[in-house]
Every structure is written in C-alpha cells, then in structure tokens.
A and B are shown apart, each in its own frame.
Chain A
C-alpha cells in the first residue's frame, strides 16, 4: 500500500545552518506531494506542495522538488532560523482518494 518514510528527528541545528529533511514515498499513480509544518500547540499549516514530476514547491525559504525517479520530496532550507523550530510532516496524496498519507514527522530544533 501507499506509504511515506521521513528521517527521524530531532534534527538539531544552529541558526543559519543548512537544513535537509529527507522524505521518500511509495504510491500508486502520481501523487501530489505536500510538506506541512506544526508549531507547538497548533494545527498543521501547509508549507509547500508539488503536483507533478520535477515541480519545485517553495515558501518562506523552504524548497522541495518532486523527484519521480527516486520517489522523493526532500525539504531544504539554506539558512534556518530559531523561528523554524517545529515538526515537519511529509504527506503524499493517496491514489484516487481525498486523503493524505502522513509521515511520522521530523522535529527540528534550531538554537541561536
């Protein structure tokens, strides 16, 4: 069945460091791919998305490219800030449904 694998956290970085959070998936067909962010005590917010192969989603300095050949959607940011500390969820869409498949989430901690 469809599934998603995210790198385990926590990821601990100093401010201005480069961030990569890996995400790979198995899916039927060609899913849309989403990254969501969850700040403490809040709901999930869409960070970025890509709906077809080679699309690059970007927002707030974060980027991710839809890699069909490697079934990956890795999240990157060139220079993280303390305010980026949160949990990040990779979520491909489920084939022919209205549902998302959530990864386990990766906690990012950024220190000054």
Chain B
C-alpha cells in the first residue's frame, strides 16, 4: 500500500542535543510537509517543500531545519532541542493545489529530557 512512513515513532533526546526525524513516502507526491502538534492542539505547519522548493512559515524558529534530498524522503532537523520542542511531529504529503488532500504519517513523538 502506498503510504507515508515516519521513523522513529518515538524519539528521546537530551536538552540541546541535535535530533533528526525522518519521513518517506511511496505516493510520489510533489509536496511534503512538516507539522508540530502539541497536546490537545491543532497541527502547526513548520514548513513544506513543493518538489525542491522550500517554504518556511514565518513563525518557525531557526532551530528547525529541513532537507529533502529526493522525492521520497524528507528530514526534520532540530539543532538544539529545548523542553518546549517536545511534541508530536507529523509528516504529510500531497499532490499540491487546493483540491487535493494531505496524507499523514503516524507521527514521531519527541521527548526532550
């Protein structure tokens, strides 16, 4: 089945220690998104790629970076995690445009000690 895969499902890191979350897709979609979701809140878009074009949200902290080396993979790098960065991180993909839905992965729950 075509899908969006996130690894790992659970990630524990230490305060200030860089961490990378990964996302892969078999849907061959043009657009990949990274969201941060804190408890009982809506997902908050951090950035997205349309193919190789990177689009950062204005309020995304510089501490968050992303790479998309090819169509299938996208990475979220948190350079110096703080306690406030503990959250669920969701990857999603879509064909792009306003008509098409986004397909979400299962998420990676990040704990910062």
Residues of A within 8 A of B (CB): 31-32, 34, 36, 41-46, 49, 51, 89, 93-100, 102-105, 107
The answer to whether A105 touches B98 (Cβ under 8 A) is: no
The answer to whether B104 touches A43 (Cβ under 8 A) is: yes
With A44-B90, A98-B96, A102-B42 known, 16 other A-B pairs at CB within 8 A are: A31-B98, A34-B101, A36-B104, A42-B107, A43-B92, A44-B43, A44-B102, A46-B103, A93-B99, A94-B98, A95-B98, A98-B31, A98-B94, A98-B98, A99-B48, A103-B42
**A104 CA to B42 CA, complexed, in Å:** 5
Question: Which residue on chain B has the smallest CB distance to residue A30?
Answer: B98
**A15 CA to B50 CA, complexed, in Å:** 43
Contact A105:B107 (CB < 8 A) given known A93-B98, A98-B31: no
**Scoring B residues 81 to 113 as 1 if CB is less than 8 Å from chain A, else 0, what string do you get?**
000000000101010111101111111010000
The answer to whether A43 touches B31 (Cβ under 8 A) is: no
Residues in B whose Cβ lies below 8 Å from that of A41 = 107, 109
Residues of B within 8 A of A (CB): 4, 6, 31, 40-43, 45, 48, 50, 90, 92, 94, 96-99, 101-107, 109
Q: List 20 A-B contacts (CB under 8 A).
A: A31-B98, A32-B99, A34-B101, A42-B106, A43-B90, A43-B105, A43-B106, A44-B43, A44-B102, A44-B104, A45-B104, A49-B101, A89-B42, A98-B31, A98-B48, A98-B50, A98-B97, A100-B102, A104-B42, A105-B41
For chain A, what secondary structure do more than half of its interface residues adopt (helix, strand, loop), or is it mixed? loop
The answer to whether A102 touches B43 (Cβ under 8 A) is: yes
The answer to whether A99 touches B45 (Cβ under 8 A) is: yes
Residues in A whose Cβ lies below 8 Å from that of B41 = 104-105
Residues in B whose Cβ lies below 8 Å from that of A34 = 101
Smallest CB separation, B13 vs chain A (Å): 19
Residues in A whose Cβ lies below 8 Å from that of B40 = 105, 107
Smallest CB separation, B93 vs chain A (Å): 11
Residues in B whose Cβ lies below 8 Å from that of A104 = 41-42
